[in-house]
Amino acid sequence: MDLMDTAYDSADTLPADSPAPFDVPDGGSTVAVRGQLLWFRDDPFLVPVEHAMRYEKDGLLVCAGGKIRYCGPYGDAEGHLTADAVLVDHRDKIITPGFVDAHVHYTQTAMIGAYGEKLIEWLKKHVYPEEMKFSDRSYAAEIAHLFCDELLRSGTTTALVFCTTHPQSVDVLFDEADRRGMRIAAGKVLMDRNAPEALLDTSVERAYEQSRELIERRHRAPGTRGVYAVTPRFALACTREMLQAAGDLWTSAEGLLMHTHVSENPDEVYQVRGLFPERSGYLDVYRHYGLLGPRAVLAHGVHLTAEELDTCSGTGAAIAHCPTSNLFLGSGLFRLRDAKNPGRPVKVALGTDVGGGTAFSPLSTMNEAYKVAALGNHPLDAARMFYLATKGGATALGMDGLIGSLEAGHEADFTVLDPKATPLLARRTENGTGIVDVLFALAILGGDQAVAETYVAGRRAYRRDTGPAPRPKRTRTLAWSRYDWESDTWLPDRPTPAIGWRAPAIDAYAGALHCVYNSGSDVLHWTTFDGTEWSAPADLGFKAGPTPGVAAYGAKLYCGFVHDARLRMTAYDGEAGEWGSPQRITAAPETGFPPALAAYHGLLHVFLRDRRTEGRIHWASYDAEQDRWSEWRPLWHVASFDPVAAAPFAGRLYVMYSPGREGGEEQDLKWTSYDSETGTWDGHRVLAGTAGTARPSLTPYNGLLYACGNQWVGSELHAWTARLGPDVPEWSTPQRNTRIHPYSGYGLSMAAYNGLLYTAYFTA
């Protein structure tokens, strides 16, 4: 099965409006955690471990107001413990500062572990198609939620994160982190060459403006812990002008980070030399555009020369060492010992680089760092590994003094590690020869199961024994609304007995309004409305990924849906009162996206996005009398994964679709119509004011053609409607509809029934 399809179809997380999954230890504002405290005051690569590392065998952390107020022996804590303090006993566990993941791509969470390629091919084949999906804000929000869950499960409390070029991919991540109180650094990716156009910034100016706007809203925003990172993807994906803009952005506000990739893979290094022959090497490209210095974090650096490491040291730029990724993508072995040469040390942190990396866990990352160092003929001890994942990470991000330490005054982000997490670990650590040996066993055998609890700003945000913080439910109530002619408005939302998610599909057939929808566990359900009541939902038993499409045609109600990347068709026969068994339409292009169905001129027309051509729309028609399909024909090359809408009106077949984004910008919906007499489509026109609509719906009603959809405007989701007359070739201005409240960008469905106009959608 293709990963693009499964990633989209099987996501079982939630939209942006989910409640904060905080678990505040019972009531009191002061939390005191007793356990074995382990942290670093200094860099053990530069000073003896005994000086750098602190270990308090029976220690206590007292936290209030998000900060650590006391860190020291439990026996000396009197006077620091207020009467309202909640005491948590972890004497058998090791408490370290929360881990810092200094390089990770949240947008690659759903495609982690993609088979078979090295860097450049892997980007083209696996990464860029996945990142294109982040034009859909609700998809981005789902993944941001899953990503933050994974960080906390792994004991990571701060991460420096790649988003995509889409500004909303940055917003939803900061929203999610803010809800959890996490200190996250992230930014919009800048890239304007050598990738699919749909993913590129359309112009340097626009990319600059979008970044500035995000910096103004998100960087050190009051009440949040967010920090903005200027994020040119890497030299291969950026023109000189874009790198110059990145340099300008980086100095445009205090405390910004700069985050990019460098010298990861030999082919990449070679190609960068070809693109920038005027520069002395890969790192010199970044130096030239002012992209090196303190708070610059360069991922990988596997193939940096000795002189380039000197430059990193001299400028204060940090390297995020990403061993699971370097091994998985066959990139090479990072020379940690060279980088940490005490004569000219480079700041080094650990990065998971998910999805090139294969685990979110910093413990698993240490495990691979050890092996990479061993292949370079030096053993990397546990003290140094834990330093890299805590204070080393904080230092790389310019956040030492804030995070990465347990000392009083630091922010209360910490991780509780369980040396008895598994029977094997328990046996191994029982024989431990000291704290450094126990830490080593945790690094080599631990992984995320060794994380018992994770605290963010003094609150427990993850607890292994109760699993991840409770997930808000993914299913929503199916709601409906009716258009009221007299008042020219829609009636307020009303619920049905059905629950499900994504978008429902409705059409009138045989005296009832029928609704087919995804139950929330990717099975189709069905409910009907008789003008008064909705029927009890029935499970149709058909597995289906995204939203289905329905249309009455001939004597039946047809339903198209996608499962295993293939279009399937079934039909409800009102006379027999049954659904036929689904047929797999093998000639249809592979897809992961909802079909649109419309009856027109005696045929059933079906429109689909082909995922192999970056979302090109294909169509075919079905003749029920002959039981025959036409050929599947490509319609337009538009790089978008958003669904299509289709409806007959005034003797023509209308189609409306999102053209996706152009560079960083959401585009307005486009529409066109088909005349079966001449067999021609007319030109594509824009429905202005609909940018950000993922899924429109079209239906003829009362002599007009109606369109509706929902669009993100900033962080708000608006429903809108517009209409078109038979003689007027223009749509009315889309009207915001405040009566109906679809919960996500998956959209609504509209149909005329019984002389009235209805819409259905999932609501909160």
Q: How far is CA 629 from the centre of its chain?
A: 38
Which residues from 694-713 bind Zn ion, rule CB under 5 A? none
Binding partner of residue 238 among Zn ion, ligand GUN, none, CB under 5 to 8 Å per kind?
none
Which residues from 292-321 bind Zn ion, rule CB under 5 A? 299
Binding partner of residue 382 among Zn ion, ligand GUN, none, CB under 5 to 8 Å per kind?
none
Q: Taking CB under 5 A as the rule, does residue 268 contact Zn ion?
A: no
What's the CA gap between 317 and 297, in Å, rounded? 6
User: Which of 372/383 has CB closer to ligand GUN?
Assistant: 372
User: Which of 176/353 has CB closer to Zn ion?
Assistant: 353
Min dist. Cβ of residue 122 to ligand GUN (A): 8
What is the Rg, in whole angstroms, of the alpha carbon atoms belonging to the chain? Answer: 28
**Which positions from 579 to 618 touch ligand GUN by CB under 6 A, shown as an x/- string?**
----------------------------------------
User: Which of 123/185 has CB closer to ligand GUN?
Assistant: 123
Min dist. Cβ of residue 415 to Zn ion (A): 23
Residue with tokens 């040291």: 313
Min dist. Cβ of residue 347 to Zn ion (A): 18
* CB neighbour list of residue 448: distance below 8 Å, 6 or more residues apart: 153, 154, 155, 359, 360, 361, 363, 364
Min dist. Cβ of residue 299 to Zn ion (A): 5
Q: Helix, strand or coil for residue 144?
A: helix
Which of 133, 183, 225, 261 touches ligand GUN by CB under 6 A? 261
DSSP label at residue 731: B
Residue pair 491/465 in contact by the 8 Å Cβ criterion? no
Residue pair 276/268 in contact by the 8 Å Cβ criterion? no
Min dist. Cβ of residue 96 to Zn ion (A): 25
Binding partner of residue 132 among Zn ion, ligand GUN, none, CB under 5 to 8 Å per kind?
none
CA dihedral (324, 327, 332, 337) positive or negative: positive
User: Which of 158/519 has CB closer to Zn ion?
Assistant: 158
Instruction: Show contacts of 210-219: CB within 8 Å, 24+ apart.
Output: 210/167, 210/664, 211/187, 211/249, 212/249, 212/252, 213/167, 214/167, 214/170, 214/171, 214/187, 214/188, 215/249, 215/252, 215/253, 215/256, 218/170, 218/171, 218/174, 219/253, 219/255, 219/256
Min dist. Cβ of residue 194 to ligand GUN (A): 10
Residue (of 404, 406, 391, 403) closest to 71 by Cα position? 406
Min dist. Cβ of residue 104 to ligand GUN (A): 10
Helices H / strands E in the chain, number of each? 18, 45
Alpha-carbon dihedral angle through residues 300, 303, 304, 307, given to the nearest 10 degrees: 160
Q: Helix, strand or coil for residue 159?
A: strand
Residue (of 4, 8, 3) closest to 745 by Cα position? 8
Residue with tokens 């072995």: 333
Residue (of 698, 700, 687, 619) closest to 658 by Cα position? 687
* CB neighbour list of residue 472: distance below 8 Å, 6 or more residues apart: 14, 18, 19
Min dist. Cβ of residue 262 to ligand GUN (A): 9
User: Which of 139/762 has CB closer to ligand GUN?
Assistant: 139
Largest CA distance in the chain: 90
Which of 353, 400, 413, 668 touches Zn ion by CB under 5 A? 353
Min dist. Cβ of residue 308 to Zn ion (A): 18
Min dist. Cβ of residue 103 to ligand GUN (A): 8
Residue pair 226/220 in contact by the 8 Å Cβ criterion? yes
Element (H, E) at 173: helix 167-180
Only segment of 303-311, 350-358, 463-471, 620-628 that touches Zn ion (CB under 5 A): 350-358
User: Which of 325/699 has CB closer to ligand GUN?
Assistant: 325
**Which positions from 355 to 384 touch ligand GUN by CB under 6 A, shown as an x/- string?**
-x----------------------------
Element (H, E) at 230: strand 227-232
Which residues from 63-122 bind ligand GUN, rule CB under 6 A? 105, 119
User: Which of 348/646 has CB closer to Zn ion?
Assistant: 348
User: Which of 324/759 has CB closer to ligand GUN?
Assistant: 324
Strand partners, 750: 759
User: Which of 322/441 has CB closer to Zn ion?
Assistant: 322
Which residues from 122-161 bind ligand GUN, rule CB under 6 A? 123, 127
Q: Taking CB under 5 A as the rule, does residue 130 contact Zn ion?
A: no
> Which residue of the chain is nearest ligand GUN when measured via CB?
356
Min dist. Cβ of residue 599 to ligand GUN (A): 45
Residue pair 25/88 in contact by the 8 Å Cβ criterion? yes
**Which positions from 299 to 338 touch ligand GUN by CB under 6 A, shown as an x/- string?**
--------------------------x-------------
Q: Taking CB under 6 A as the rule, does residue 264 contact ligand GUN?
A: yes
* Total number of residues that touch Zn ion (CB under 5 A): 2
User: Which of 233/525 has CB closer to ligand GUN?
Assistant: 233
* Total number of residues that touch ligand GUN (CB under 6 A): 11
Which of 80, 183, 225, 233 touches ligand GUN by CB under 6 A? 233
User: Which of 300/661 has CB closer to Zn ion?
Assistant: 300
> How wide is the angle at C-alpha 165 spanned by C-alphas 742 and 121, nearest 5°?
115
What's the CA gap between 408 and 397, in Å, rounded? 20
User: Which of 103/463 has CB closer to ligand GUN?
Assistant: 103
User: Which of 23/284 has CB closer to ligand GUN?
Assistant: 284
Residue 165 tokens, joined? 């070029």
CA dihedral (112, 117, 123, 124) positive or negative: negative
Min dist. Cβ of residue 246 to Zn ion (A): 16
Binding partner of residue 234 among ligand GUN, Zn ion, none, CB under 5 to 8 Å per kind?
ligand GUN
User: Which of 162/174 has CB closer to Zn ion?
Assistant: 162
Residue 661 tokens, joined? 């984004």
Min dist. Cβ of residue 186 to ligand GUN (A): 14
> How wide is the angle at C-alpha 560 spanned by C-alphas 626 and 524, nearest 5°?
135
**Kind of pairing, strands 652-657 and 347-350?**
unpaired
Which of 99, 134, 147, 234 touches ligand GUN by CB under 6 A? 234
User: Which of 357/659 has CB closer to Zn ion?
Assistant: 357
Q: Tell me which residues touch ligand GUN (CB under 6 A).
A: 105, 119, 123, 127, 233-234, 261, 264, 325, 353, 356
Q: Tell me which residues touch Zn ion (CB under 5 A).
A: 299, 353
